[in-house]
Amino acid sequence: MERAPSVFLHPDIDRKRISRLIGWLENPAVMRYLNEDQGITSRLREVAERTDPVFLACQLNQKGRFFFVCREGYREPIGFIRLAELKKHDAYELVVAIGQQTLWGHGYGTQAIRRCLENAFFERRANTVAANVHRDNLRSLRAVEKAGLRRLSQSGGYVHFSLTRAEYLNQKLQSLA
């Protein structure tokens, strides 16, 4: 049996990592299913150039929490994951991208989502985590479902998922039984 990949979420943000993030966001294959604003890379470059490195994390963590996804045993990021605060109290939207294309389809996205759910429910005390995945992004659809989010509906080309804290804790208890 093949062992699942192990990842950790790295909260440190520096100019080198932002440069890597910009590279991913300029890759059409990575951006194909992301719903990022036009000009995001220009704004990231500006933030990296104008912001003291000590405050870069503050910039990327506005209105949520941002992490780089790293493989266990390595410090270099392979992707990113973001928990964006929603208007509803204690609710977050999860966005994940594995930027290193050679690692697509190996389970790193699923593991990153699982780590992010731990952070959302145990550290941020979220009541709900949602994800909106482009209907053609089959890898992400599988990753979100394997990580335990429940498919709610489909509209506007996106499949909408959700997971409540109670559902998450129930899943954790069932996995221990």
Looking at per-residue pLDDT, the higher value among 52 and 103 belongs to 103
Of the listed ranges 33-42, 104-113, 123-132, 154-163, the one predicted with least confidence: 33-42
Residue 3 has a pLDDT of 58
Tokens 């996205």: give the residue: 109
Looking at per-residue pLDDT, the higher value among 55 and 162 belongs to 162
Residue 70 has a pLDDT of 96
Residue 78 has a pLDDT of 97
DSSP string, 95-111: EEEE--GGGTTSSHHHH
Cα–Cα distance measured from residue 96 to residue 110, given in angstroms and rounded to the nearest whole number:
9
Of the listed ranges 119-123, 152-156, 164-168, 173-177, the one predicted with least confidence: 173-177
pTM: 0.91
Task: State how far the alpha carbon of 24 is from the alpha carbons of 36, 41, 45, in Å.
Answer: 12, 10, 13
Cα–Cα distance measured from residue 26 to residue 89, given in angstroms and rounded to the nearest whole number:
33
Structural domains in the chain, sorted by start: 7-176 (3.40.630.30)
DSSP string, 22-67: HHHHT-HHHHTT--PPTTHHHHHHHHHHHS-GGGHHHHHTTTEEEE
pLDDT in tens, 63-84: 889 999 999 988 899 999 999 9
